[in-house]
Amino acid sequence: MQTARQNYLQAEVQTATPQKLRLLLIEAAIKNIHRTKKAWDDERFEAGFESLALSQDIVAELLSSLDKESNPDLVGKIASVYVFIFRCLSEGGMTHDQQKLDDALRVLNSERETWRQVCEKFGSSVNGNTGTSARLDLSTDSPTKVLVSPPKSSGITTASFGRPKEAPSSASSTSSGMSWDG
């Protein structure tokens, strides 16, 4: 049974624009990195691994949702940022190096601020539109200056982004076949 919070977050995802979905994913990655660090501090390494894997999946989703055809040079530069974050998470996970996680967090926090500004400037919800068919066309005065497709994980069942849950076979899902559930 879903809680009121889960219902609210699910509704937020279903009515969000592509830029808001991207912000939600970035925030979920940040939240899961903090969970990883806390789990490691408490010597709950399996729980830490699970939340770290969720962060990696989210970063991979952010990377794969870049529109590589809109501005290949700029998208390539942005992609390298996500590759850096993913590498930090991977290396940190292998050695339990919290400094690597902090490096990823530093970049993700900056990315979160950028997307918050984009949401403020261009809006963050669409009445009656799931945002799955919309494209975000950022003008040259935008902080990111790149076209992005909505994240492919529009099969997200709730927005709590807590632990993986098998996605229904009829729903679109992330490349790992997972959707996010709290």
Residue 54 lies in a domain: yes
The residue among 129, 149, 163, 168 whose CA lies nearest residue 16 is 129
In a domain, 168, yes or no: no
| Residue 1 placed within a domain | no
| Displacement of CA 92 from its chain's centroid (Å) | 19
Asked, for residue 84, whether it belongs to a domain, the answer is yes
pLDDT at 41 over 50: yes
Question: Which of 16, 57, 49 shows the shortest CA–CA distance to 161?
Answer: 57
Report the alpha-carbon angle 167-16-123, nearest 5.
160
Amino acid at 8: Y
Range of the domain at 144: 15-153
* Cα 115-9-128 angle, rounded to 5 deg: 80
Q: What is the CATH number of the domain that holds 25?
A: 1.20.120.340
Residue-wise DSSP of 50-70 = HHHHHHHHHHHHHHHTB-TTT
- Higher pLDDT among residues 30 and 131, named by residue: 30
Q: What is the largest CA-CA distance in the chain?
A: 47
The token duo for 104 is 């990823």
Kindly state whether residue 158 falls inside one of the protein's structural domains.
no
User: pLDDT band at 163, cuts 50/70/90?
Assistant: very low
- pLDDT tens-digit map of 79-125: 999 999 999 999 999 999 999 999 999 999 999 999 999 999 987 76
Classify residue 143: in a domain, yes or no: yes
- Quote the CA–CA distance of 178 and 14 in Å, as a whole number: 17
Averaged confidence pLDDT in the chain: 76
Say if 164 falls within a structural domain: no
pTM: 0.68
For residue 174, the SS3 value is coil
Q: CB–CB of 89/104 below 8 Å?
A: yes
92 found inside a domain = yes
- Count structural domains, the chain: 1
Structure tokens at 177: 């076949």
